[in-house]
A and B are shown apart, each in its own frame.
Chain A
Amino acid sequence: MNTLPPLAAPPRAEPDYLRRDRSLRSWLCTHDHKRIGVLFLFTLTGFFLLGAIAAAGMRYALLSPQGNLVVSDLYNRLFTMHGVIMIWFFLVPSIPTVFGNFILPMAIGAPDVAFPRLNLASWYVFLAGGVLVLTAIGAGGVDTGWTFYTPYSSTYANGYVMLMASGVFVTGFSSIFTGLNFIVTVHRRRAPGMTWFRLPLFVWAIYATSIILVLATPVLAITLFLMALERGFGVGVFDPRIGGDPLLFQHLFWFYSHPAVYIMILPGMGVVSELLTCFSRKPIFGYRVMAFAILAIAGLGFLVWGHHMFVSSESLYAGLVFSLLSFLVSVPSAIKVFSWTATLHRGSIRLQAPMLYGLGFVALFTIGGLTGVALATLPLDVHLHGTYFVVAHFHYIMVGGMLMAYMGALHYWWPKMTGRLYHDWLARISALTIFLGFNLTFFPQFVLGYLGMPRRYAIYPPEFHTLNVLSTAGASVLGVGYLLPLFYLSWSFFRGRPAGPNPWGATGLEWRTASPPPKDNFEETPVVTEGPYAYRPEEAAP
């Protein structure tokens, strides 16, 4: 250090995180949470397209009651591929790994996550799991469904069950790494003045999700490991012929997979709280209750797994208890819906694309939640379990809810991530197309389910034909809705107008730095002096 730095440093001395170093190596070895978020964004987009192709194949097959477009075995492999990829390679990682990574450290005023190397390791482990799963699919696939129910999966199924399960097993470690990282980051790296009750609800949601990820994922790993032991080495755990219990698998599997439902929806709830406040210029209604509702859902979510097993031959009393608890877990979700609505009251509302996605989430999540209440009602579940009603219900939560929130997050934070704006009207058209296409695809499936059409049927009785054709028609509209953003967002990345640091006039800390942000996020560490949603609607009005 023998020379002084030049006196008149140019403004923006530091290049942003995208332009700092353009080499491939700098991306593949990055420890920057923003770049890792972008890596996940590309990876997940790829997996989403694969999962969507499988779905398209299924909807095409179901155009005909005879199922003569593909053979049954192919259909069975398609729905397994669709489920495995969409659950573990899109929905579970989606908002946490992309926007949790990109936004969460900035939202709490930190330069990075607590463990940047572990963060990169999470992406590589995720890729390794993905390669195993894609190999299994490429080699001929698996027909067990994403649930891997025993003894079918452990004894009877042909196909690459072990490979597929090991891919899911490996990917679980990515979930655990990311979850652990976010928990420590939120505890240890908050900026001065960023108290717990000044955290944005998005951060609360990712924090609660991370706790579930860390606590529940090991159970999935153990379950799949035991299933593999039985399949590979004949160790009797689940198959009654060798001394096992098939229901034990279901208990273990759903002990992970029901909390996983909340892994998939809580981040969406967090995003929507950011969107509705920003685009109505209003503080969130009932901030503390909203934060506690997130924690309540995360906690109660561990106690309702048995509602997947009402007709499995679990005991009558287990059924009653799980039904009661399932009703109770719906209460905090209902509170959130009412609070979102109340947030709009006396706001100053603009229906830009992220807001349309946010409102779409509220509408579809409400329908998904109410049909969930139907499934928690014991005698109704007896009739509806295993039918298309269940398929429609969880797609309203997962696609109507989580995917709308994911798209909302993408459109909301896109200017921050790329520094550029996209074509707002195209984005609005895409949001509406997705909303309409989604309802046309999945609403008929509620009716199909009530009429008794079982899921996972490659062929079906002709009386279900009309509704299936409607559903497939809707799926093509939905597909167009999902393809549009690929084009206008790509265009925006190269040619979009510069966004500036805060195009939406939002209050979060992430908007107090440049777009795209520099490597360490902030020129100087921000100091927080007020709550997260200091919006003033009366000022936004003319």
Chain B
Amino acid sequence: MSTPAAFLALEQASTVAGKVDLIGGTLLAVSLVVVAGLLAVNLYFIVRYRRGSPAPRPPLQISPGKLEAAWTTGTTLVFLGFFFWGAQLFVRMERPPPGATTIDVAARQWMWDFRQPNGRREFDTLHVPVGVPVRLRMTSEDVIHSFYAPSLRVKQDVVPGKTVSLWFQVTKAGTFTLFCSEFCGSKHAAMVGQIVAEPADRYAAWLAAGNPGSIARRGPALFVRYGCAGCHSPGGSVRAPPLERVYGSEVPVAGGGFVHADEAYLTDSILLPEKVVVAGYQPLMPSFQGVIPPGDLVELVAYLKTLGSASPPPARP
């Protein structure tokens, strides 16, 4: 795909790259016309009306108000055009398509820690399939980082204390640079990685070859280590809701109503247990914010999902 910005020689390797460059290229062209026009007019005035030139200088015939109204309206309309063009593309870039492959990302000083859907873990190198939407579910373990892949034209700050998401669909096989673009300390400039995009079948083979097994395989151990089992297992010391078949169900909530038990609900219930309390239980559970590192949290939630679900997990955008 060729666009006005192609001469800048930055690869277009995602489904949005060409669209982003088209807006950028158009804006660049409009800007060049404006700058060249202003330059020409200014130079013409400077030369023609230089001090001592014989050019006549009668008062202006048209009212200044009309000129002002014209360039105010014109500028506003052009700007609104770019706003709406950008806004509609941005909305599409923000919302991952259904059925995207989800990869968990933990950022920390100074590395990228990736977990593929089957639990295969890699650092600073991210394997993704070509032609398949990939959704990154990201969190940071310390300061703010930012996931930036110039060739894909995507960027998302990775913020501690919350889970953020980013999606892209790579259009061609290759290796693309990954930068951290939010200053994160001494080795910020070394927090550089790469995205290796491979055809879907080769990606699947790569995935199967490396440490097979489930992301949830450490779950039972973590469930015990963090003390979850003490209350949430049958015969626990404190009465707590059982977790079998919770994932995907509609959980009755204290104070009335139901909440859909998706991944966000499970994560929130571990980190912010008082936010939503299950009907019929006391808000006794302590917060595990800062206690369970994000990497373990991912595995714990994955384990909870394996405890049976009420219905097949719905594809949520």
Contacts and interface: CB of A to CB of B under 8 A. Distances in A.
Most chain A CB neighbours (cut-off 10 Å) among B20, B31, B155, B179:
B155
Contacts of B189: 67, 72, 456-460
A366 B34 contact: yes
Contacts, number: 254
Contact of A374 (B27, B39, B45, B159): B27
Nearest to B32: A370
Interface in A382-412: 382-383, 385-387
A327 B67 CA distance: 21
A540 B186 contact: no
Given A240-B162, A382-B90, A451-B150, A149 B64 contact: no
B66 to A, nearest CB: 11
A376 B86 CA distance: 9
Interface string B9-33: 1100000100110011001100100
A335 B79 CA distance: 13
A345 B86 CA distance: 36
A239 B161 CA distance: 8
Contact of B185 (A152, A328, A382): A152
A469 interface: no
Most chain B CB neighbours (cut-off 10 Å) among A243, A313, A359, A385:
A313
B150 A350 contact: no
Interface stretch (A186-194, A253-261, A318-326, A521-529): A318-326
B148 A386 contact: yes
Interface stretch (A45-53, A126-134, A336-344): A336-344
Contacts of A139: none
A542 B49 CA distance: 12
Given A346-B60, A380-B24, A156 B159 contact: no
Contacts of A382: 20, 90, 93, 153-155
Contact of A76 (B5, B68, B72, B188): B188
Contacts of B146: 311, 386
A286 B64 contact: yes
Nearest to B5: A450
Contacts of A328: 76, 79
A349 B49 contact: yes
Assign chain A's interface to a size class.
35 or more
B42 A362 contact: yes
Contacts of A5: none
A12 interface: no
B228 interface: no
Interface stretch (B50-58, B212-220, B245-253): B50-58
Contacts of A246: 144, 159-161
A386 B52 CA distance: 49
B86 A537 contact: no
Contacts of A331: 72, 75-76, 79
Interface string B143-172: 110101011011111011110100000000
A373 B91 CA distance: 19
B13 to A, nearest CB: 12
Nearest to B184: A152
Interface string A300-331: 00000000000111001001100110011011
B8 to A, nearest CB: 5
Contact of A341 (B45, B179, B289): B45
B89 interface: yes
A456 B45 contact: no
A328 B82 CA distance: 12
Contacts of A348: 49-52, 57
Nearest to B56: A346
A247 interface: yes
A335 B38 contact: no
Given A245-B161, A349-B46, A383-B153, A156 B142 contact: yes
A335 B41 contact: no
Contacts of A373: 27, 31, 79, 82
Nearest to A338: B71
Interface string B256-295: 0000000000000000000000000000000001100000
30 contacts: A72-B187, A149-B183, A152-B144, A241-B290, A246-B159, A311-B155, A319-B90, A324-B83, A327-B83, A331-B72, A341-B38, A344-B46, A346-B55, A346-B58, A348-B49, A349-B45, A351-B46, A370-B35, A377-B82, A378-B90, A379-B20, A379-B23, A380-B24, A382-B20, A382-B153, A383-B20, A386-B155, A450-B10, A457-B188, A542-B52
Interface of A: 67, 72-73, 76, 143-145, 149, 151-152, 155-157, 239-247, 280-281, 285-286, 289, 311-313, 316, 319-320, 323-324, 327-328, 330-331, 334-335, 337-339, 341-342, 344-351, 359, 362-363, 366-367, 370-371, 373-374, 376-380, 382-383, 385-387, 447, 450-452, 454-461, 537-538, 540-542
Q: Which 7 A-B pairs have the closest CB atoms?
A: A240-B161, A452-B150, A378-B90, A386-B181, A377-B86, A344-B45, A457-B189
